[in-house]
A and B are shown apart, each in its own frame.
Chain A
């Protein structure tokens, strides 16, 4: 619970530092915001690992195929990474490039989820009366 105060503190400090740097050197202000974002994300990741361990435990108890679970985790990771880099691009003043990064993430997720779709299709084909 205390971590939210830490995250807020890091965010405010980054904001103020970037504000101070912007009139002097705007490129350094961008880098400071990037570093603040990275620090916040690392804090969140340490929280997230416990949730992921819980999901893995439940999956192993219920006997879900571990390759499917791995694909889902990869998709979540791609989502977080692309979101992070897109907002970084938007902070740096090129929001269009960030949109393209998001598009790339979506396409990679689509390609990665194709095995699941083919799995479902093959199950449906088995169910259909021939």
Chain B
């Protein structure tokens, strides 16, 4: 748990932007869309696990069953 995950997400975002730009330049727009989609899904999974951790710790702390 730290700041590195923010950098990770920012790096993934910049990387997918660059990849989609390159793929668009070479005329493979469908693959570019899939690349951005994959990046988005990876980041969403990371964010979801973080939010799950947060909700779990709040659950245990505030006496929810």
**Chain A residues within 8 Å of B, Cβ to Cβ:** 9-10, 13-14, 17, 20-21, 24-25, 27-29, 31-32, 34-36, 38-39, 41-42, 45, 48-49, 52, 70, 73-74, 76-77, 80-81, 84
Contact with A along B30-53 (1 / 0, CB 8 A): 000000100110011011001101
Instruction: Report the nearest A residue to B52, measured CB to CB.
Output: A38
Q: Are A39 and B5 in contact (CB under 8 A)?
A: yes
A74 to B60: give the CA distance in the assembly, Å: 10
Contact of A31 among B3, B44, B58, B63 (CB under 8 A): B44
Contact of B10 among A9, A20, A38, A49 (CB under 8 A): A20
Size of the chain B interface, CB-CB below 8 angstroms = 32
Say whether chain B's binding surface is mostly helix, strand, loop, or mixed: helix
Instruction: Report the nearest A residue to B36, measured CB to CB.
Output: A25
A49 to B63: give the CA distance in the assembly, Å: 12
Q: Are B53 and A48 in contact (CB under 8 A)?
A: no
A-B contact pairs, 21 of them (CB 8 A): A13-B7, A21-B10, A21-B13, A21-B14, A24-B14, A25-B13, A25-B17, A28-B9, A31-B47, A32-B6, A35-B47, A39-B3, A42-B57, A45-B54, A49-B61, A52-B61, A70-B63, A73-B61, A74-B64, A77-B63, A84-B54
